[in-house]
Amino acid sequence: MKIAISGKGGVGKTTIMALLAAEFKKQGRDVLVIDADPSPHMAQSLGIRPGGVTPLADMTRLLAERAGKTPGSPFYQLNPKVNDLLRDFMLEEQGYRLMVLGAIQKAEGGCACPENHVLRKMLKKMLLDANEVVLLDMEAGVEHLGRGTVAGVDQLLIVVIPSRSSIRTALKIKQLADEVRIPRVSFVGNLVLDKEDRIFLAGGLGAEPIAFFPDSRTLRKAERQGNAVAGIEAELDRAPEILARKIQEQVQAV
């Protein structure tokens, strides 16, 4: 299973992905987590070397060299070698495998196309070659879908909180996901307080989210203190277990 997650900024997608990773690990599944967010903090959420992970996107010189980029030249390698990068920069701790890609925000002198090309090649290879459960934490919003960088995933989870702006973004992401033909797209409610919130989300989205994560003081405290959230179960009403089960049911139904 290859699952990507998206949503409006600040809705808690990284937290939910970390909780889902912990649930699959608890089930005995091999889990690969790919952090492709421009501000990656999945390592902290999982409790993997939270203070010492450098995203590959920050290693611009390494990426430029691997792309065969020559200063002042518009040409670069269209098929860069990335196998050794996947091996050397893959973290394996706490029963997870984690690759922190990050995302290039800008480059000195203009376009960062060669460097981004290397990152996209690594992402594509991991999505195509991996045999375990792959969880992909993407940047917030809809731009990544416009670029088609999630092509190859089996399912997209769109995290949405009970607010009109979050619902608008979620519906736009759903529209673009359908256009790039992601096989399954599902909504996941977060920061849900009561039945009224559930009804509001279902009505605004036009579909029932497959899981609802409550607003948890325990999670909020862990995030504020920079602690891992993976594996926290307090105040979650079995939401990670329900989400994992619904995903597997959808996959088996195909």
Q: Quick one: pLDDT at residue 109?
A: 41
Q: Quick one: pLDDT at residue 161?
A: 98
Domain locations in the chain as residue ranges: 2-253
Top-level CATH class of 2-253? Answer: alpha beta
Q: How far apart are CA 147 and CA 169, in angstroms?
A: 17
Q: Quick one: pLDDT at residue 174?
A: 94
8 Å CB contact between 7 and 170 = yes
pLDDT per position in the chain (254 positions), as tens?
A: 899 999 998 999 999 999 999 999 999 999 999 998 888 889 999 998 766 678 888 887 788 777 776 555 555 556 677 888 888 888 898 889 998 888 755 544 445 566 777 887 888 888 877 778 999 998 877 666 766 667 678 899 999 999 999 999 999 999 999 988 888 999 999 999 999 999 999 999 999 999 999 999 999 999 899 899 998 988 999 999 999 999 999 878 76
| pTM of the model as a whole | 0.87
